[in-house]
A = this chain, B = another copy of it.
């Protein structure tokens, strides 16, 4: 992190009490947005136009330069053209201004010349002790500080609230605000980072973790610019109990699959970012609407305590859809307790049963309304006391946009809303209100719900996705430890593969299980070794210069007799020497394994994120289905167990194909051990792959090992 970007400086940056707009002009669309944003957020401080020529802008008198300010402003929003920005920074420094947003584009995004200009810009800001957001940046708004140096439209009303938002896309900021407005989701700070020349997305994340007004953080990411700072901030968020919800662009099934199947392609891939986000318990979503809905749930509602969901609705069709979504999200719908069911049935038609999910039916509509509470309310009242539930999905708030003109009905509704507010607060378990579909929360409904802090999730689909996200988040909350993310300090040397015997020794010395084998130098030694190991055996030429042994005929498998072993020795040795272009280390004789399940456990090095551990099943699983789980190192046995649990091929490990169920705890330890070994190779590591790692029951053995380091091992030893 840049030394300028202390927590205090960032807090100061995002809460300026006075602003100058440099390059301000009535004809600029951006400036019109900046002028309009101030009242939208209730900004009361000075907003001073600065322009070398214009006398007035926004109907206010302009000064010609920041140097002409009577006293320094907290923030300069620089809208001036690219060529002028450097001089404006000098003016700012001279005027005692410590913070600047730069809107101009034409920097890094245009190529090498622009990148050089951007470096100059940062250097100048650093020299001036100026904190800089941008360039190519549309600014931010902060509802708790009531300030909005923000060059985009602000959908109104802008509602203050718990959701802090940071984006690597400028224009999407107001799209997110549009959905937040529609769904009555309150925001704390919304900031765009532009080119991230100084303040990057990870710094901003860190600021939002520290920001008292922010209870949950939304990020729109195109990449993770500074993984180390990002991971550390995410760990702090976890300690602080602030969920992070992410929408990251740049997924593509083809790319992801390729990355999983081919070690080299993992670098910089979305799959690596995804692995880091999983480790950091960051919730990853797939749409703007899911991003904000998930954040709203976590920002407004009490968090689900487990997977046992009670459902109260007034629609059988909604119950069907919720049950389907519950299966998708891995949520349970336990039967209500006898007491709960009895309490509910008092308000149902005589023939109806109190099932979970519950449809209270339209039965009570048959008669005149005598009470403020409806049948869904009475059902909710009973269900929240059910001891077998962790939370309740309540699809029954259902307020009109317009206050009923009939004063009796209006009074009943007021009474009902009061009761609901109290019951949501007093309920022993969290109640999560879900609207039947995704429409705006407007008018009377909004006026009633917003001051009471009641949020309605926007429909069954979005609501259930948000609930699933929240449940999974809570299960891991408080347990995050940031992986050792980081770029390599040194440029890697030329790749130097180890011989298989050296790789086997590395594993064995670390106490990891390797299939029994012996390195031999003659056919006679080979047959003796084979008889010691037990037939059948495999024989393979062994040399650091042989990386694709099978392709050159330097491997023979399933040798069932001494004669076969002797013959194979000669064949394999000759082929190996031919391919290696000279002498080889010898021939490896190893026991053969049949049955069981074969896994791939590999570590490669991402240039930005460091060592990445990949685990998958062999055969079609990784290669055809791209079914692999990734993590950044270090990975402990618990995390390795989590990786196995993510595999679609897990049932195979559990023995569904008739094999012996794998000892998953032991397997996870071995996988973690392989990761640790790779981590111990530190900056020399280029790849370490155990393929296959064979497992049947509690028998686990590495059948083949490939190690590649960046320097000659003799030198490293």
Contact = CB atoms under 8 A, between A and B. Distances in A.
Nearest to A113: B351
A274 to B, nearest CB: 13
A179 B437 contact: yes
A400 to B, nearest CB: 9
A594 to B, nearest CB: 15
This chain: how many copies in the complex?
Answer: 2
Contacts of A318: 169, 171-172, 175
Given A106-B351, A289-B461, A324-B249, A171 B656 contact: no
Contacts of A436: 172, 175, 178, 288
A212 to B, nearest CB: 28
B253 A439 contact: no
Interface string A216-248: 000010100000000000000000000000010
Contacts of A290: 461
Contacts of A220: 317
Given A167-B317, A253-B328, A320-B249, A369 B29 contact: yes
A440 B437 contact: no
A401 B224 CA distance: 36
Interface string A308-340: 000000111110110110011000000000000
Interface residues of A, number: 81
A222 B320 contact: yes
B182 A439 contact: yes
Given A110-B351, A289-B461, A316 B171 contact: yes
Interface in A661-712: none
Given A175-B436, A327-B252, A459-B287, A29 B110 contact: no
B440 A316 contact: no
Given A251-B324, A656-B623, A438 B366 contact: no
A168 interface: yes
Interface string A43-59: 00000000000000000
Interface in A433-458: 436-440, 442, 458
Interface string A103-144: 001100111001000000000000000000000001000000
A273 to B, nearest CB: 13
9 contacts: A27-B368, A30-B365, A169-B315, A175-B317, A179-B439, A289-B437, A290-B461, A620-B649, A620-B657
User: What 6 pairs across the A-B complex have the smallest Cβ distances?
Assistant: A169-B317, A249-B320, A29-B365, A27-B368, A171-B315, A287-B461
